[in-house]
Chain A
Amino acid sequence: MRAALILCLMTLAALHLLLPVDILQADPSLASLLLVELRLPRTLLVIGYGATLGLTGAALQTVFANPLASPDISGASSGAVLAAVLGTYWLAITDPILLALLGTTGALMTLALLLLIAGRNGDQTTLLLGGVALSLALGAATSLALALAPSPFAFYDAFDWLMGGFADRSLGQAAAALIPALIASAWLLGRSNALDLLALGDDVASSLGVRPKRLATETIVASSIAVGACVSVCGAIGFVGLAAPVIARRVVRGHPGRALAPAAALGALLLLLADMAVRLLPLNRTLPIGVLTALFGSPLFFWMVIRARRSVTS
């Protein structure tokens, strides 16, 4: 199963990198330039962002003991978006790497606020609700910042980016997003076993040497850094972080911690498919990728809610 997943991922990545044959034949030097400057950062970002969403989604669902949790739940994505919007439209920052750093800072500040709100003894529910409240508040603040921005086109201009996109990103931007994401993801992967033990409940997990509260805080911090960095370069993309872990757990017999690695692979796979669909759909303008993932992801969310309702009533 794992081998099939990796093979699938590699095939899709190769397909994603592929350039139209006519360009290859017409001008090989232009083709190699396009490949390195345009296609490579795009493929890397799609794989990296997708994997980050899947992995952080799986980790957050485990610490919140809730299959409906997702990376945007901590408010980190919203914080990154607000910081990037303020940087772009109010501070006139154009350097993409500076913007990526600003986004990550926004995510981290949101997180600090969340931990402050939840307090020292805050449990998972407090953190979850605090994150949802922060996301709503920051979303409103982003709309306000765009509505009152000096540029009258800010709202229209920001739409594409807010809903996620991978077009015209540089290798530098890819590095700014993916290096923090990679470090945070590696840290999370190292906690797979401890996360698995949380399934037994906090008390039994503690008796096995896990420190559940500390693990939850560290997981939220690592996830926010990873997602914040990606969001500030490619915008917010929903539902991949929710769907990938749900499918991944079916591959690993339901183990929430062991699902981290396959969730990363599935996240990358889903986003590669979505980005190829966005590129290849015969529309007269490019669809923001977040719209597509939401269109396909929301039915899954509804299905999960209905399933949860059934298990409550039965």
Chain B
Amino acid sequence: MTALLNASGVSIPGRLQASSLTLNAGEMVALIGPNGGGKTSLLRAIAGAEEASGSVRIAGERLTAVGSRRSRLLGFMSSSREIGWEIPVADAIALGTGPISAERLGELFERFELGPLADRPVTRLSTGERSRVLMARAVAGAPLVLLLDEPLSNLDPYWVLQFLGAMRERAEEGGCVLCALHDLSLLPRFDRAVLVSDGAIQADAAASLIQDHPRFGAIFRVQPDERGGWEVRPPEGRRSSP
């Protein structure tokens, strides 16, 4: 296995303890954890969106390059779906990715069904449509590492599946994906899961095994129910009483 992302000792004072994470080529990794646990901080630190100590290397390279070269290494979709200016969809997809071939743009239009919206200003899109534009932009440069901060929120089931398909495609093409998400029922679609809470990585295991991790229940305060879903876990004290 080729390690594509090497984050070592990455930390943000007060929010993220020194964390190390390696992602391998072909891997699709879920980043899970309770609200305020540090998922976004970890993603932002790796993406360089916030000044953090520690080192981040992608395919052995430090993230110092700027512009289109950088978009070949890293694709990032933040938790914000805002684009402040009336830029047409076709242009927004190419922002920061360098020159993009008509063929590639056509592929992205097809994959994210953006063709009919190509000339519409992004400010006049719904949140879900803007998510599709931002996801298309993040994958446009075929980056080795794809970092996504809750890309599946605000999406209908069809688009959740389409986005998961796009992530899998990136992994199969030799990249890797780190995707923050809240919907634990989607875990089976990932290869690995990293559990973040209290500003630190608490567990890192195969996605199918993460819910058996001893800390999983205590951190999420939920447990599998009989119908294959989730239910609130009774507090420790009450559970031990007869």
Residues of A within 8 A of B (CB): 65, 193, 196-210, 249, 253-256, 311
Contacts and interface: CB of A to CB of B under 8 A. Distances in A.
Contact of B44 (A198, A203, A209, A249): A203
B200 to A, nearest CB: 22
24 contacts: A197-B96, A199-B84, A200-B95, A201-B80, A202-B49, A203-B50, A203-B76, A204-B77, A204-B134, A206-B48, A206-B50, A207-B47, A207-B76, A208-B66, A209-B64, A210-B66, A249-B85, A253-B91, A254-B85, A254-B86, A254-B88, A254-B121, A255-B85, A311-B123
A207 B66 contact: no
B235 to A, nearest CB: 36
Interface string B70-99: 110010111010111111100110011000
Nearest first, the 3 A-B pairs at minimum CB distance are: A209-B66, A207-B76, A203-B78
Given A203-B44, A203-B78, A208 B87 contact: no
B67 interface: yes
B102 interface: no
B87 A254 contact: yes
Contact of B78 (A65, A197, A201, A253): A201
Nearest to B71: A208
| Residue from the set A197, A254, A256 with the largest chain B CB neighbour count within 10 Å | A254
Given A208-B70, A254-B88, 17 more contacts: A193-B67, A197-B96, A199-B83, A199-B92, A200-B96, A201-B80, A201-B83, A203-B47, A206-B47, A206-B48, A208-B96, A209-B63, A249-B85, A249-B86, A254-B87, A254-B91, A311-B123
B85 A199 contact: yes
A37 B202 CA distance: 76
Contacts of B96: 197, 200, 204-205, 208
B41 to A, nearest CB: 12
Contacts of B77: 204
B65 interface: yes
Given A197-B95, A204-B76, A209 B48 contact: yes
Contacts of A209: 48, 63-67, 70
A199 B95 contact: yes
Nearest to B78: A203
Contacts of B95: 196-197, 199-200
A160 to B, nearest CB: 38
Nearest to A213: B51
A1 to B, nearest CB: 16
B64 to A, nearest CB: 8
A112 B70 CA distance: 34
A161 B214 CA distance: 76
B88 to A, nearest CB: 6
Nearest to A202: B49
Nearest to B83: A199
